[in-house]
Structure 1
Amino acid sequence: MTTKVLSVGGSIIAPDKPDENFLFEFSSMICSWLSENKDARLILVAGGGGPARNYQNSYKAVSEKFDENQKKLSAFEDSEKLNYACDWIGIMATRLNAQLLKTVFGPLCSQDVVTDPTKVSDFTGRILIASGWKPGFSTDNDAVLLAERFEADTVVNLSNIEKVYTDDPRKNPDAKPIDNISWSDFRKMVGDEWVPGKNCPFDPIASKKAQELGLKVICAGGKNIGNIKAVLDGKNYIGTTIS
């Protein structure tokens, strides 16, 4: 049985609220693809998206007011506390999105949502849904760990960008799209540090682990359903391959 892992960004599941059109089109394509590929199964790892950032930003605003009034914690302790709390808020948002995906796929997903990728021992259905695990990294890292556990050689990272760029194209008009990049060069771009809510093509912690495992990661736009199918079919696709 071939296992493919898709890290489904929260920005496409729920950019602000659940995107019903995306959920319908994505689930319809996945169900059709699985019916055509009887020897394949899919792991879908849900991100937090808009709800995660909205709740994180609200916590940050309240925390700043609280700390200004109380003056009890050092700046370092404030930062540590803030990141830890924001990570957990983001994790809870991923679990809500993951439960939504599980419900959408119904009987194809017979197991509970995976919240700890190191403790899942089997895969009984055609689809396994996972969410965030613990602070310190994003769901990209959970996707990498599940790829390792179930011997998948590729993680498809679906987000709101079609390709990785040399720089943020929203800020730098000279930024160029990248078709292929090595892990060493990619990691120079994203660094080694994880910050909750960090906006980067693939989590730095996950990138380090993926490089160690020799995994290939494909970054592609999550709204282009036909392109996602092309990736699953091993056909020409629009995206960036990191290997």
Structure 2
Amino acid sequence: MQPIVVLSLGGSLVNPGTPDGQYVASLARVLRSTKYKFGIVVGGGKLARKWADAARKKGASEFEADESAIDATKKNAQFVIDILKKDVNRVPYNTFEQAREHSKKHRFVVMGGTIPGITTDSDATLLAECLGAKRLLNLSNIDGIYNDNPVRNHNAKKYGRMSYQQLIDLAGKNDLRKAGTHFVFDFLACKLIARSKIEAHFVHGKNLLDVRKAIEGRQHGGTIVK
């Protein structure tokens, strides 16, 4: 049976302001060059933050802001589907059960967000559990996990390896549970990978050499959690 790897693909990579078809096509070539099947959950990025903020300004609740952000993730997911083209679902699935059935016969399954209050990182981890994947990649515009925000603090330390508990402790200090805000991996997702012992790799999504190494479970320039 072909092994499965799940990707939590950051929306800011897919759509940093406008959809980046060149990047998604390059990533698709890397994925197709491996022996693996893939479950891909696409985030909302800037688009989700924009929509969630707009909803709040109109008096929306956090639940409703989450719904707006989820719509953004599905638009980004559809863009990824359109570029993959072959051996993939035609529209983003809304449930993990749909994704599991599709993955039995196809190489790629793509989703956006699912329900309010759940980030796409948690969705990706739940998809990994559903599909029986033992490796998950978090692809973002940050090249690993740091002890502080590396954008604001240039002296922040990057971890090469972490335990599940170290990641849970760090996420617990930074996860605001609010649509449009972001820590590299949310608290619930951290707890989920720990309970199922899913090996997690955090790499910069545009470093395609590191992406390939992470897919294969090899050492790379990002962070490995296990």
**TM-score (normalised: structure 1):** 0.85
Q: Establish whether residue 189 from structure 1 lines up as the match of residue 162 from structure 2.
A: no
Q: Establish whether residue 100 from structure 1 lines up as the match of residue 79 from structure 2.
A: yes
1:204-228 per-residue CA deviation (whole Å, 9 max, x = no partner) reads 1111111111112111101111221
The 1-side partners of 2:98 and 2:29 are apart by: 30
1:186-209 per-residue CA deviation (whole Å, 9 max, x = no partner) reads 121111652212211111111111
Matched with 1:17 is 18
**Bigger Rg over Cα:** 1
Matched with 2:42 is 46
Matched with 2:220 is 237
Percent of aligned pairs with the same amino acid: 28
Q: Do 1:194 and 1:205's aligned partners in 2 also have CA atoms closer than 8 Å? A: no
The 2-side partners of 1:110 and 1:13 are apart by: 18
Matched with 1:8 is 9
Q: Do 2:56 and 2:62's aligned partners in 1 also have CA atoms closer than 8 Å? A: no
Shift of 1:153: 0.8
Q: 1:144 aligns with which of 112, 119, 125?
A: 125
Shift of 1:119: 4.9
Matched with 1:60 is 56
1:140-194 per-residue CA deviation (whole Å, 9 max, x = no partner) reads 1111111111111111000010011101122223311111111212121111652
Shift of 1:111: 5.7
2:73 counterpart SS class: helix
State the aligned residue count: 221
The 2-side partners of 1:179 and 1:46 are apart by: 25
Q: Which amino acid aligns with 1:159?
A: S
Q: 1:168 aligns with which of 149, 172, 179?
A: 149
Q: Do 1:11 and 1:48's aligned partners in 2 also have CA atoms closer than 8 Å? A: yes
1:17 counterpart SS class: coil
Q: Which amino acid aligns with 2:162?
A: I
Matched with 1:223 is 206
Shift of 1:85: 1.3
**Where do 4+ consecutive residues of structure 1 move more than 4 Å?**
none
1:30-67 per-residue CA deviation (whole Å, 9 max, x = no partner) reads 2233xxx2xx211111111111111112222333xxxx
The 2-side partners of 1:21 and 1:206 are apart by: 29
1:42 counterpart SS class: strand
Q: Do 1:5 and 1:152's aligned partners in 2 also have CA atoms closer than 8 Å? A: yes
Q: Which amino acid aligns with 1:197?
A: G
**TM-score (normalised: structure 2):** 0.91
Matched with 1:74 is none
Stretch deviating more after TM superposition (123-132 or 232-241): 232-241
Q: Establish whether residue 208 from structure 1 lines up as the match of residue 191 from structure 2.
A: yes
Q: 1:30 to 1:120 in 2, by over 3 A?
A: closer
The root-mean-square deviation of aligned C-alpha atoms, in Å, is 1.7
In structure 2, list runs of 5 or more residues that go unmatched: none
Q: Which amino acid aligns with 1:220?
A: V
1:86-125 equivalences under 5 Å are: 86-110=65-89, 112-122=91-101, 123=103, 124-125=105-106
Q: Which amino acid aligns with 2:220?
A: Y
1:152-163 equivalences under 5 Å are: 152-163=133-144
In structure 1, list runs of 5 or more residues that go unmatched: 64-80
Matched with 1:77 is none
Shift of 1:9: 0.6
The 2-side partners of 1:163 and 1:139 are apart by: 18
